[in-house]
Amino acid sequence: AQTVTQSQPEMSVQEAETVTLSCTYDTSESDYYLFWYKQPPSRQMILVIRQEAYKQQNATENRFSVNFQKAAKSFSLKISDSQLGDAAMYFCAYKSGGGGADGLTFGKGTHLIIQP
Amino acid sequence: AAGVIQSPRHLIKEKRETATLKCYPIPRHDTVYWYQQGPGQDPQFLISFYEKMQSDKGSIPDRFSAQQFSDYHSELNMSSLELGDSALYFCASSLDEKTQYFGPGTRLLVL
């Protein structure tokens, strides 16, 4: 079974600075997808970014980018120019590839605090 | 853009009662997933459906059942409710089985 580990229960960053959230995973599969979801106090789960394992290029979405190291099974999220609205719980998630409707396996989450 | 709709948004039940949660996926999405998130926990996958057939099964208790209907909406039926079933229940939908888009969740409180 796949596992996802987020070793930082909580991170704090000053507004406008850059922060990196860590995620590692364990799998024997070669085809899979990795995601970062954001859960603000409203508890809505919001997709931040997606990475396909077969793509070497790191995904980027505006101020959000990932550092995907397949051999090291590492998938970190970098948030640039942090804003107050970025304050939330961030979950790293894994999904098997192969075309099935497999469920996501989540890490325990990192609580991100933005200091004004 | 249209999002996943879940109803009800809040539900209070007594122990041993039953509950039915409904999920309406994003239009044209044919795959539905159910997750349970306890307080301070990460979401746990329960079950998924693709084209009205059960596709994958996670840690869903035997007291729970679910189905997907011809219009692709899905219902999660929960019987003999226990205090530990109090949680936020998410439905998510996808079109390409790669990316799942989550609904706002149903907060279930069992007293």
Residues B80-101 have pLDDT tens digits of: 999 999 999 999 999 987 899 9
The four Cα atoms B45, B50, B56, B58 give a dihedral, to 10 degrees, of 20
CA–CA dist A59, A49 (Å, integer) = 7
pLDDT of the residue at A106: 98
Nearest to A3 by CA among A108, A112, A111: A108
Q: Please check whether residue A4 is in contact with residue A106, taking contact to mean a CB–CB distance below 8 angstroms.
A: yes
Q: Are A67 and A21 in contact (CB under 8 A)?
A: no
Mean pLDDT of chain B, nearest integer: 95
What one-character DSSP code corresponds to residue B70? T
> Taking CB atoms and an 8 Å limit, are A33 and B98 in contact across chains?
yes
For residue A99, is pLDDT > 80? no
Q: Do B43 and A44 touch (CB under 8 A)?
A: no
Q: Is the pLDDT of residue B36 over 90?
A: yes
Mutate to test the interface with A, among B29, B100, B107, B108 (most CBs of A within 10 A): B100
Distance from CA of B102 to the nearest CA of A (A): 6
Query: Is the CB of A40 inside 8 Å of chain B's CB atoms?
Result: no
State pLDDT tens for residues A7-50: 999 999 999 999 999 999 999 998 999 999 999 999 999 999 99
Mean pLDDT of A60-75: 96
Write the pLDDT tens digit of every residue in B47-85. Answer: 999 999 999 999 999 999 999 999 999 999 999 999 999
A46: chain B residues, CB-CB within 8 Å: 102
Q: What is the pLDDT of residue B98?
A: 82
Our CA angle for B43, B19, B51, nearest 5°, is 65
Q: Percentage of chain A with pLDDT > 90?
A: 91
With CA atoms as reference, the chain A residue closest to B35 would be: A103
* A13 at B interface, C-beta within 8 A: no
